[in-house]
Amino acid sequence: MSDGAPSPGDPLSSLRAQLAATHPACTVRWIARTGSTNADLLAEARSGQLDGPALLVTAQQTAGRGRQGRVWADDARTSVLCSVAWPFPPQHDIRALSLAVGVWLAQALHALGAASVRLKWPNDLLLPGAGPWRKLGGVLVEMADTASARWAVIGFGINLRTPPGVPQAAGLDAAGLSLDRGQVLTALAPALLAGLQGGARQRDAALAQWNALHAWAGLAVSVQDRGQTQFSGTALGLAPDGALRVQTPQGERRVLSADVSLRLTATTAADTAK
């Protein structure tokens, strides 16, 4: 659970007013510091403390994590860090949800002026750089089942400013934007909630748009499991079920497991750095 009280410098006043009109059932909370917003909302869902959609935003996470348990680092000033808990019917299939979320967030960032944001399967938001694509943010979807609902807890982090000394990362400043946390959330949170509220139709529409945002389309990639290359080929795009299609010398293969990682091959990475 969170280890901080609500901050007196609450930056979410504009967002609260907006969501009160468009998504009045969604609670909005701001805390200065916590371990992980995803972990907080998962615990609340499992213990029956949530009775509707909830948005939890923090300035700093001490135990933030990404996919496969990776740590998401922040310095309390340069990131948007938040999670949304959304109730679906019991047994609802949420396997492709993180892909749809990526599309909704990317489109909202485009509307803010970061038109070059693209997606990497399955859950990264990227910006182009002088060399390879750089990571702007990421999405982590986790699940909590109760007797009455399947809760999707959707965490996302966005760099407001480029982290120093991390060449593989980028912030919105790299796209020419100087925005604070509240401004970015006022654009992203309503877009995410609108997508979720739209149900399967909105999710499927987002998945249909994913390929247009695919950063690595046509590039040589390797599919890795715990650091070991499983196979290599050319990234094609998204299948209707959310799998990534990869063309290999032996034919087309599909990547569906979120337990694997996708990497550019050494040749592709070198070419994009030229």
DSSP string for 105-131: HHHHHHHHT-TT-EEETTTEEEE--SS
Residues in the chain: 274
Residues 17 and 47 in one domain: yes
CATH number of the CATH domain containing 205:
3.30.930.10
Separation between Cα atoms, residue 192 and residue 105, nearest integer Å: 7
**CA 234 to chain CA mean position, Å:** 24
Q: What is the mean pLDDT of the chain?
A: 89
pLDDT digits (tens, 9 = 90+) for 148-172: 999 999 999 999 999 888 899 999 9
Rounded to two decimals, what is the model's pTM?
0.90
pLDDT digits (tens, 9 = 90+) for 215-226: 999 999 999 988
Residues 103 and 190 in one domain: yes
CB 226 within 8 A of CB 52: no
**β strands within the chain, DSSP E:** 27-34, 54-61, 79-88, 118-120, 124-127, 134-145, 150-159, 220-225, 228-238, 244-248, 251-255, 261-264
Give the structural domain span for 161.
13-213
φ and ψ at residue 54, rounded to 5 degrees: -140, 140
> What is the pLDDT, as a whole number, of residue 270?
43
Residues 68 and 106 in one domain: yes
φ and ψ at residue 212, rounded to 5 degrees: -70, -15
CATH number of the CATH domain containing 257:
2.30.30.100
Residues 73 and 130 in one domain: yes
Residues 260 and 193 in one domain: no
Q: How many domains does the chain have?
A: 2
Separation between Cα atoms, residue 105 and residue 109, nearest integer Å: 6
Whether residue 266 lies inside any domain: the answer is: yes
Whether residue 5 lies inside any domain: the answer is: no
Residues 179 and 254 in one domain: no
